[in-house]
Structure 1
Amino acid sequence: MLILEEMQTRGHEALTLLHHAPSGLRAAMAIHSTVLGPAIAGVRLREQEEELAVRGALALSESLTLKAALAGLNYGGGACVLMMPEAGVDDPHAREALFRALGRQVRPLATRVVLTEDIGVTPADISFLAQETPATLGMHTDTSSVTGYGVYRGMKAAARFALGSESMRGVRVAILGVGAVGRTLAQHLHREGARLTIADSRLERAEALANELDGAQVVGCSELLDTPCDILAPCGFGHSIPSDSVPRLQCRLIAGGEHHPLTRRGEAAVKEAGIVYMPDFAINSAGLIAAATGADMNQAAERVYQIVTRVVQVAEQYDKVPHLVARRMAERRIDLIGSLGHA
């Protein structure tokens, strides 16, 4: 992998590898942009190989830059992807040591990076980080639940553009990944009367949710991409819709909580297929908004609704696809505010 070439292509400022043998800390931290302010870095904890951790940090940090910009926040984008220690983190002391080791190593970067929770990380983990560095967000915010509700509200705004109505009653929604965000999304959709098909890499998790939500159907992850539906909601770990699988999709709208479910090639493929794609950085920002501003769940989700509404209005006005409009809107704010220079 040509790391510097990829960083140059995406416009990254820095990539740092972190290591602390006693705690098992092995992490890749990427800073994509600090033009608008310190880079908010979503912290993820997953079992994965080193190259995937680096690639994930680069992709996630770019997404965070666009998300913060589109949401009107004065932050840039970063990401910190932790590889699961060999001994695991079931021991609470081991978990504390892991996150405090991360906080201590990141502390010299406190003027450039702000750490917040992402997949596999809890507000309690952020509290451990806060013992070692002042640059944290999210200790008092259940960001997954807020994000899930924001995706639901953003999906309704996108559906008005793609399906002609924002009502979810009777709408067929296929959800790929029912962790914290996907589960919350499913619950809100079920409450409104949507017809749900769900899939998860952990089959038992999908089956447990289906038992809770009467009428929800469970299929395998690969099978879900072939499921006839109105809306496909990717809520997994990233790149869950391979480019070569786009011709299989039988949906009219892609809108979910997952960061970068499509590659750039995949985005071009869905455009060619006539599928509306509402990008992650436009629709999954409620948790970030709540953590950064102190907004409650309803306020943060309403902000997402307004963001998505603005994106589709501009897309209609100029006859452009929403995912390109959203990216350009975010990049324009970065360019304009960046042109002011430092205060």
Structure 2
Amino acid sequence: MLIMEEMEARGHENLTLLHHAPSGLKAALAVHSTVLGPAIAGVRLREQTEELAVRSALALSESLTLKSALAGLNLGGGACVLMMPEAGVDDPHAREALFRALGRQVAPLASRVVLTEDLGVTPADIEFVGQETPATLGKNTDTGTITAYGVYRGMKAAAKYVLGTESMRGVKVVIMGVGVVGHALAGHLHREGAKLILSDFRLERAQALAHELEGSSVVPCQEALDTPCDILAPCGFGHSIHSGDVPRLQCRMIAGGEHHPLTLHGEEAVKEAGITYIPDYAINAAGLIASATEIPADQAAEKVYQTVGRIMAFAEQSHKPPHVVARKMAARRIGLIGSLGRA
């Protein structure tokens, strides 16, 4: 699919390519919707191709629109995906230049875009952005751990309907990716007595966490999808579960902190396989909620719990998959609030 066709299919408003040669800035900034307010855009930094950066920005920005709508925030959805500069960003001055260049490039869009940190980006990086533009949420801390607690609470809300109990004691959970979110999620589940199977592309990281959390086990990444479990929790960089991998899955529910673990085709495939998918934009919203509203972590996580519970209840009543219900709920709020017009 061509980029313009994909933008039209998803309903995007804007896609901007950013470039500043001296700092090595190469980025894709996508704005999916500003109907509810300025587009909240998570800033990501990782090694990737230009095409992947653009497509990731388009997918992530749509997810942020849905996430903000479900969370009741007056924000739209955006995403800013940075390609890793050839010289890297280990030099602190180079890192400062990269993010200040980003801020200066985004400054003209300050009325439509609000930047915040995402994978590979720190609060200090966003402070650099903020030196050049007011278009940031400001310096936030521990958004990953807040997100993880919200995923844990959302997982319990969904388990009540899928597994027949909110308790995680004895529930077998495969966590794919044990970075900040996956690590914190594992801690919450372990304290409640879940049986954890950990996986990460850096196997030694999963092994270290398993040693820390007594009774946990480890499987290589390539075996995680084949592991029998109650809940599969993707917590990686995105698209961890390809459509062709769905027949391998031996779980009852997919619920994790990862953005876009499945494509739309993948969502249809897991539905046909009888697996319940709790969409990323419903369950991983606690970090965004806390950043945007400045409420405590437990309150942000409680909002996720309530949202997922509402989705599951309606899904059960309507005999529709939760991911279909969640998207319709988000679209309904966008339509209703959008019908009010601009203040």
Could you state the TM-score of these two structures normalised by the residue count of structure 2? Answer: 0.99
Distance 2:110 2:31 in 1: 12
CA drift of 1:324 comes to 0.3
Distance 1:230 1:264 in 2: 23
Who is 2:46 aligned against?
46
Please identify, of 207-216 and 62-71, the stretch whose mean Cα deviation from structure 2 is larger: 207-216
Who is 1:109 aligned against?
109
Give 3-state SS (helix, strand or coil) of 1:23's partner.
coil
- Pairing 1:99-178 to 2, within 5 Å after superposition: 99-137=99-137, 139-178=139-178
Does residue 339 of structure 1 match 2:342? no
Give, as a single letter, the amino acid of the residue that structure 2 aligns with 1:84.
M
Judge conservation of contact 2:153–2:304 (CA < 8 Å) in 1: yes
CA drift of 1:49 comes to 0.6
Who is 1:235 aligned against?
235
Judge conservation of contact 1:290–1:297 (CA < 8 Å) in 2: yes
Who is 1:218 aligned against?
218
Distance 1:45 1:261 in 2: 18
Distance 1:214 1:144 in 2: 23
Does residue 319 of structure 1 match 2:319? yes
CA drift of 1:135 comes to 1.3
Structure 2: runs of 5 or more not aligned: none
Judge conservation of contact 1:239–1:262 (CA < 8 Å) in 2: yes
Who is 2:73 aligned against?
73
Give 3-state SS (helix, strand or coil) of 1:22's partner.
coil
How many aligned positions are there?
A: 343
Who is 2:186 aligned against?
186
Judge conservation of contact 1:173–1:233 (CA < 8 Å) in 2: yes
The alignment-based identity, stated in percent, is 77
Distance 1:315 1:61 in 2: 25
CA drift of 1:140 comes to 3.0
Judge conservation of contact 1:254–1:276 (CA < 8 Å) in 2: yes
Who is 1:309 aligned against?
309
Distance 2:2 2:221 in 1: 31
- 1:253-302 deviations in Å (ceiling 9; x for gaps): 00000011001111001101111100000000000000000011101001
Give 3-state SS (helix, strand or coil) of 2:48's partner.
coil
Distance 2:60 2:212 in 1: 32
Distance 2:92 2:318 in 1: 53
Judge conservation of contact 2:130–2:138 (CA < 8 Å) in 1: no
CA drift of 1:138 comes to 5.0
Give 3-state SS (helix, strand or coil) of 2:22's partner.
helix
Distance 1:229 1:153 in 2: 19
- 1:225-261 deviations in Å (ceiling 9; x for gaps): 0000000000111110000110110000000000110
Distance 1:213 1:341 in 2: 52
Give, as a single letter, the amino acid of the residue that structure 1 aligns with 2:41.
A
Distance 1:228 1:129 in 2: 44
Q: Once superposed, what is the RMSD of the aligned Cα atoms?
A: 0.8
Give, as a single letter, the amino acid of the residue that structure 1 aligns with 2:61.
S
- 1:105-138 deviations in Å (ceiling 9; x for gaps): 0000000000011100111111111111111125
Judge conservation of contact 1:178–1:235 (CA < 8 Å) in 2: yes
Structure 1: runs of 5 or more not aligned: none
Judge conservation of contact 1:25–1:102 (CA < 8 Å) in 2: yes
Distance 2:254 2:325 in 1: 15
Give 3-state SS (helix, strand or coil) of 2:55's partner.
helix
Give 3-state SS (helix, strand or coil) of 1:151's partner.
helix
Who is 1:31 aligned against?
31
CA drift of 1:141 comes to 2.9
Give, as a single letter, the amino acid of the residue that structure 1 aligns with 2:334.
I
